[in-house]
């Protein structure tokens, strides 16, 4: 039986994996959070992976507080770089395939065509820099790895933009949302299915891949769709980023070119609005 370790086991993406993997009897998923496995402790990681007989490790553990990272760079580095390096070392020692989740924040967002995996990275803030350094820790050490960069992740689990907007739209008459940051929302269940597909197929087409849902939207567009599909009465107003300053700079354009993942892994990617509708229906 294939045995898979999932770190960050109480988080949003791990919860999505738990949902899609619920009926997979041929696989044994082991979900751990920091209270069971602190990935920042090298000896603890080595000991845990040495005795687990895992074939895959899916690292969903991360420091994801983008703005807070600007004032807590050491904490972000500890989890997003040191923790990833510890996992990579242990995976190499025990022939475990590592699946690492990364982000659109490794790019600066200054170009106007979709980003493929070969475009030069240039993160603007601490979060993106630490995630990129985590990627490098893997690529410098491992050959059997998958780095999945994703964007604007949401689901019915954890804390995310969708749930925040639903709560606010239910309380307020209007919401002001930035309209000049462009990307693609990604349904966590769709990403979890991609991860499960990699494990099922046991493919050897290793490397870095971009994955988001299909299509393009601004945060304003995303919020408009959330409100409309939920049947809420809240009015959504567009504003510019300079009207809503944040500690961390965000990429203005982070649309992915997903040709590589569709070609190499043979997957079909749902349109973002269709996935949003599915998510809302499943969590109503």
Sorted by where each begins, the domain ranges of the chain are: 2-160+186-212+253-271
Considering the segment(s) 2-160+186-212+253-271 as one domain, its CATH architecture is 3-Layer(aba) Sandwich (3.40)
How confident is the prediction for the chain on average, in pLDDT?
96
The string of pLDDT tens digits covering residues 211-251 is 999 999 999 999 999 999 999 999 999 999 999 999 999 99
Dihedral sign (CA 230, 233, 239, 242): negative
pLDDT value for 25? 81
What's the pLDDT tens digit per position in 33-81? 999 999 999 999 999 999 989 999 999 999 999 999 999 999 999 999 9
- Per the annotation, the verdict on 187 as an active-site residue is no
Residues contacting residue 99 through CB under 8 Å, at least 6 positions apart:
56, 57, 58, 59, 145, 146, 148, 195, 198, 199
Among candidates 200, 188, 111, which has minimal Cα distance to 157?
188
Q: Which two tokens stand for residue 59?
A: 């690292």
| pLDDT(92) > 80 | yes
Whole-number Å distance between alpha carbons of 36 and 74: 22
Active-site annotation holder among 31, 63, 115, 127: 127
pLDDT of residue 26: 85
pLDDT tens profile 6-40:
999 999 999 999 999 988 888 999 999 999 999 99
- Return the percentage of the chain with pLDDT > 90, whole number: 95
Question: Which pLDDT does position 199 carry in this prediction?
Answer: 96
A 10 A CB-CB count for 119 gives: 14
pTM attached to this predicted model: 0.95
Residue range 249-281, pLDDT digits in tens: 999 999 999 999 999 999 999 999 999 999 999
pLDDT of residue 283: 83
The reported pLDDT for the residue numbered 24 is: 82
């Amino acid at each position: 039986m294939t045995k898979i370790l999932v770190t960050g086991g109480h988080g949003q993406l791990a919860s999505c994996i738990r949902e899609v993997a619920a009926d997979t009897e041929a696989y044994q998923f082991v979900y751990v959070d920091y209270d069971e496995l602190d990935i920042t402790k090298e000896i603890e990681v080595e000991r845990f992976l040495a005795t687990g007989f895992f074939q895959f490790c899916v690292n969903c553990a991360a420091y994801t507080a983008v703005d807070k990272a600007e004032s807590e760079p050491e904490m972000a580095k500890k989890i997003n770089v040191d923790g990833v390096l510890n996992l990579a070392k242990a995976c190499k020692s025990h022939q475990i395939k590592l699946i690492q989740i990364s982000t659109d924040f490794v790019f600066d967002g200054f170009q106007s065509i979709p980003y493929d995996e070969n475009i030069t990275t240039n993160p603007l803030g601490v979060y993106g820099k630490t995630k990129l350094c985590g990627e490098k820790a893997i690529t410098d050490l491992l050959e059997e790895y998958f780095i999945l960069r994703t964007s604007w992740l949401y689901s019915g689990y954890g804390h995310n933009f969708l749930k925040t907007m639903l709560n606010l739209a239910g309380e307020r008459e209007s919401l002001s949302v930035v309209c000049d940051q462009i990307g693609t929302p990604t349904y966590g269940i769709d990403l979890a299915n991609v991860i499960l597909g990699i494990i099922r197929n046991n493919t050897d087409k290793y490397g870095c891949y971009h994955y988001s849902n299909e299509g393009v939207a601004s945060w304003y567009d995303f919020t408009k769709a959330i409100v409309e599909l939920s049947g809420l009465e809240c009015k959504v107003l567009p504003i510019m980023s300079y009207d809503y300053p944040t500690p961390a700079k965000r990429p203005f354009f982070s649309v992915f070119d997903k040709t590589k993942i569709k070609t190499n892994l043979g997957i079909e990617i749902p349109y973002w609005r269709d996935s949003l509708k599915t998510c809302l229906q499943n969590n109503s």
